[in-house]
Amino acid sequence: MSDPSPPPAASSPAKKRMVPCPNCRAPALFSPANPYRPFCSARCQGHDFGAWANEAYRVGANPPPDDKE
């Protein structure tokens, strides 16, 4: 199969802004490539919005997307 998409970001040593995740303190990529910034992952992001998510869950109007990697 020929995939025209570019290779995964692994050849850019510089221009990477890392910030400590507010939830777990792990280095998180602070860039548009990370939709969960400043968190390191959806899990940590969800942690911060626990109460809000809980409310949304009760309503069940908009279930969060199941993001698998």
> Interface residues with Zn ion (CB under 5 A)?
21, 23-24, 26, 40, 44
Least Cβ distance, residue 16 to Zn ion (angstroms): 17
How many C-beta neighbours within 10 Å does residue 60 have? 7
How many C-beta neighbours within 10 Å does residue 23 have? 18
Phi, psi of 19 (to 5 degrees): -125, 150
Least Cβ distance, residue 1 to Zn ion (angstroms): 34
Q: What are the start-end ranges of the E strands in the chain?
A: 18-20, 27-29
Least Cβ distance, residue 40 to Zn ion (angstroms): 4
- Closest CB to Zn ion among residues 9, 24: 24
- Closest CB to Zn ion among residues 9, 26: 26
